[in-house]
Structure 1
Amino acid sequence: MAFIPFYSFAQVKGSEGSNNVNNHGFYIGGQYKPGIGVIGDLSVKADSIDIKAILALKADATAEDPVAADKNTPSEVSKFIQKPGNFKGFYKPTYNNSFAGFSGLIGYSTPNGVRLELEGSFENFELKNSNKCTLKNAYKYFAAAAKLKDGNNDEIDDAAAENNENHNKYYYVIKNSNISAAATMINLCYDFTSDALGNGEISPYLCAGVGASLVKALNMPHVKFSYQAKAGVNYFLSNSVAIFADAYYHATHDNTFITPVIHKPIKFANNAAQAADHNKFTDDHVMKFL
């Protein structure tokens, strides 16, 4: 999972000396940070069940009571996702770009152009209704199927189970969510200066950083090791104020999310007593963005 943001904002620089890159001292800054999310396909694994495929809701699936569904009645959503025929085709979630990202930073600049800074940032990537599902908010759910129809690997086998221990007749409804990332990074930067770029007012720079991100995906927060690289340019308006623009690549290591929120394990049983027993089944699930 990686985010490639571009941003431009004002940076305040407490310094001494002339109006150029040789200034040094503590500085603070803030930035607006829209981002482009580079998010891979989703895979699902369970401890004791072989998940064959993850399936999306059909675009033309409808609720039993359209009026109640439009009001987002939980019972209508529950009825909708418990029908195996409403799931068809492989699930590949997509997300909007982040247009409400921001970050702040505080650092120290040395006379030789080296800077060390602490940066905090936040980004949010909204889950898209890619299938244009008609039931309000039902697009957030998908099925992890343990049994597929013969000759058709994108539909759930809804044949009745022989007994209550036959886990191959289960599928799991899992609720997806937006992906948000709150990161704290330590960056090491270097400012370049050149006579060809004015009288020291323009200063390109490079940064590399490591830190941690609190990433929330599939409704589960996880702390992930993060790393990033930045390239940009400062333009000094005075010896204490600069504006800057840059682009950077920010990535998290190990895009695995353990035990997300399971809406309900659903089992096709031969009788009502067996069907009612599905809530007793529990399992650990591992989600990963490839």
Structure 2
Amino acid sequence: LISGSSFAYSGNNDASDVSGVMNGSFYVSGSYSPSFPSISSFDISESDRGGSYVKGYNKNLSTLNVSDPISFTQHDPSFKFAKSLLTSFDGATGYAIGGARVEVEVGYKKFETLAESDYKHVESHNFVAVGRDATLTPDNFFVMKIDSVKDISVMLNACYDVMHTDLPVSPYMCAGLGASFINIADHVTSKLAYRGKVGVSYKLTPEISLIAGGFYHGIFDEQYAGIPASNRVNIAG
């Protein structure tokens, strides 16, 4: 679940037709949206193989040597990700007429890898060895570095504001479809994404509103292929 607050500025654009006068306005908005990841599992395996043996870095080692197979001793390691508190922003531009709005929204989120326990080396929790056998040797494994997951999203949202002529507060709801560009280990994969938003807006002036609400952002396909290894791979075949 992702929550946030934003501001919006609108500029009136009056258009007339045969039935009368129709008032609409373009608007832009920006938001700071602290985000909470809902990644339940993050499994890694070698492409085009039925299964792989994954081991985490030895948390008791104070040096980082990912080329040595004996550095990886943790069985069945798992990745956890921190909240995106300081690197989570959204911006939108759209057109509103009456209570209906259509907008294009661009967002950025970064979820850093979180160490589940104490590691002697500050970066070692980011590394795992992926091998073809349970016993790692110099020529049967490669190393993956997962230090964060980044998401740049582009969404088309349809929104509705519950307008009150005598009150400055208006509840709203939005639903949208678009794309998320997921960056893992400097490899970007595009995914079909969806988003829902609810909240309230408070009109400070006729042109400026303060918005508080929350949104949920998800993707339809959670598999990522072609993520590169972080070291030179010497596995044959």
| Range class of TM-score, shorter chain | 0.7 to 0.9
* CA distance, structure 2, for counterparts of residue 121 and residue 48 of structure 1: 33
Q: CA deviation at 1:231?
A: 0.4
Q: CA deviation at 1:58?
A: 2.5
Q: CA deviation at 1:241?
A: 1.4
Give 1:144's aligned amino acid. Answer: V
Q: CA deviation at 1:13?
A: 1.9
User: Counterpart of 1:216?
Assistant: 183
Give 1:204's aligned amino acid. Answer: P
User: Counterpart of 1:281?
Assistant: 236
Give 1:58's aligned amino acid. Answer: N
Percentage identity across aligned positions? 21
From the superposition, tell whether residues 126 and 179 of structure 1 become closer, same or farther in structure 2 (CA, over 3 Å): same
* CA distance, structure 2, for counterparts of residue 178 and residue 172 of structure 1: 19
User: Counterpart of 1:30?
Assistant: 30
Say which SS state the counterpart of residue 139 (structure 1) adopts: helix
User: Counterpart of 1:171?
Assistant: 141
* 2:11 is equivalent to residue 56 of structure 1: no
CA contact (8 A) 1:176 1:219 kept: no
Q: CA deviation at 1:81?
A: 4.8
Say which SS state the counterpart of residue 45 (structure 2) adopts: strand
Counterparts of 1:126-137 in structure 2 under 5 Å? 126-137=112-123
* CA distance, structure 2, for counterparts of residue 250 and residue 235 of structure 1: 24
Bigger strand fraction? 2
* 2:190 is equivalent to residue 204 of structure 1: no
Give 1:181's aligned amino acid. Answer: D
* CA distance, structure 2, for counterparts of residue 102 and residue 85 of structure 1: 38
User: Counterpart of 2:6?
Assistant: 9
Q: CA deviation at 1:53?
A: 3.5
* Residues paired across the two proteins, number: 229
User: Counterpart of 2:213?
Assistant: 246
User: Counterpart of 1:185?
Assistant: 155
* 2:60 is equivalent to residue 93 of structure 1: no
User: Counterpart of 1:164?
Assistant: none
Give 1:183's aligned amino acid. Answer: S
User: Counterpart of 2:91?
Assistant: 104
* CA distance, structure 1, for counterparts of residue 128 and residue 221 of structure 2: 22
User: Counterpart of 1:74?
Assistant: none
Q: CA deviation at 1:226?
A: 0.9
* CA distance, structure 1, for counterparts of residue 48 and residue 7 of structure 2: 53
* CA distance, structure 1, for counterparts of residue 6 and residue 70 of structure 2: 50
Give 2:92's aligned amino acid. Answer: L
* CA distance, structure 2, for counterparts of residue 147 and residue 279 of structure 1: 14
Say which SS state the counterpart of residue 256 (structure 1) adopts: coil
Give 2:95's aligned amino acid. Answer: Y
Q: CA deviation at 1:229?
A: 0.3
Q: CA deviation at 1:32?
A: 1.0
Give 2:94's aligned amino acid. Answer: G
Choose the corresponding residue for 1:229, options 196, 204, 220. Answer: 196
Bigger helix fraction? 1
Give 2:148's aligned amino acid. Answer: N
User: Counterpart of 2:19?
Assistant: none
Say which SS state the counterpart of residue 84 (structure 1) adopts: helix
Q: CA deviation at 1:222?
A: 0.9
Say which SS state the counterpart of residue 81 (structure 2) adopts: coil
* CA distance, structure 1, for counterparts of residue 182 and residue 199 of structure 2: 26
From the superposition, tell whether residues 58 and 141 of structure 1 become closer, same or farther in structure 2 (CA, over 3 Å): same
Give unmatched runs, 5+ long, in structure 2: 15-21
Write the deviation string for residues 63-97 of structure 1: whole angstroms up to 9, x where unpaired: 3xxxxxxxxxxxxx3x3552335322321111111
User: Counterpart of 1:68?
Assistant: none
